[in-house]
Amino acid sequence: MSKMQDEDPWHMEMKSHRPQPKPRLTTEDKLLLLGVARDSVKAAVTGKTYIPIEPLSPNLTSMAGAFVTLKKNGMLRGCIGMIEARYPLYKVVSEMAEKAAMCDPRFESVQKDELEDMDLEISVLSPLRRIKSVEEVEIGRHGLVVEKGFYRGLLLPQVATENNWTREEFLEYTCTKAGLGREAYKNPDAHLYVFSAEVFGEKELGIFSEDGFAKGR
């Protein structure tokens, strides 16, 4: 697989692209994607090359953005994604899983002995939608992007619910993530975007195995 353009944990290019509908994933689709993600992580950690076999499902070959989140014993261990729908979903998941394990600048690279304690989660994203009022932000439904000048920050929808944030706190923390002041979203020059995500993980679907492999692969 050819490498995609490097992405940082909240990378987004605000170029004009034809909106792509978010795939409606079946349980089989989700299981396959989680298998691809874990196998990609394991290959990266052990210094091997992993090339995912192209799946038959059109949901997985459709263009979509996605984030892959790694948690170790319930704590964040890495999270990197691509928000633009520029590549087939299964390829995005494979590469973002590898980058989450090896390239998240907030963490050291994942080590082999951590694999059995790792839980993977995938968020498949809808296109961004610019909003005019903060009242449009719905906690539990929307992820959030704040952009002002060269500063950009993104938080996934589940971050707000996991932390029991109010709408105001969600906006403030997204501004902080962008490297801006907590109330920068109130600035007329700030652009706000929302998106939704289909979120699923290994624990939820019961496919994690103790040896660090995805079951059935």
pTM of the model: 0.83
Residues in contact with 203: Cβ distance below 8 Å, sequence separation at least 6, in sequence order: 119
What single-letter DSSP state applies at residue 90?
Answer: H
pLDDT for residue 142 is more than 80: yes
Whole-number Å distance between alpha carbons of 70 and 98: 10
Q: List, in sequence order, the alpha helices (H) in 15-166.
A: 27-45, 58-61, 89-102, 157-162
Instruction: Give the range of the structural domain holding residue 75, as residue numbers without chain letter.
Output: 27-126+198-205
**Average per-residue pLDDT for the chain:** 86
- pLDDT at residue number 157: 95
Token digits of residue 129 = 């939608």
Residues 133 and 108 in one domain: no
- pLDDT at residue number 216: 36
- pLDDT at residue number 22: 56
Residues 37 and 116 in one domain: yes
The sign of the dihedral angle between the CA atoms of 125, 130, 134, 138 is negative
Residues 100 and 176 in one domain: no
Strand partners, 193: 130, 145
Residues in contact with 164: Cβ distance below 8 Å, sequence separation at least 6, in sequence order: none
pLDDT bin (cut points 50, 70, 90) of residue 195 is: very high
pLDDT in tens, 153-187: 999 999 999 999 999 999 999 999 999 999 999 99
Only one residue has tokens 């704590």, namely: 75
In this structure, what CATH number is given to the domain that contains residue 180? Answer: 3.30.1490.150
Average of per-residue pLDDT across 144-152: 96
Sheet holding 75-82, edge to edge: 75-82, 65-72, 118-125, 197-201
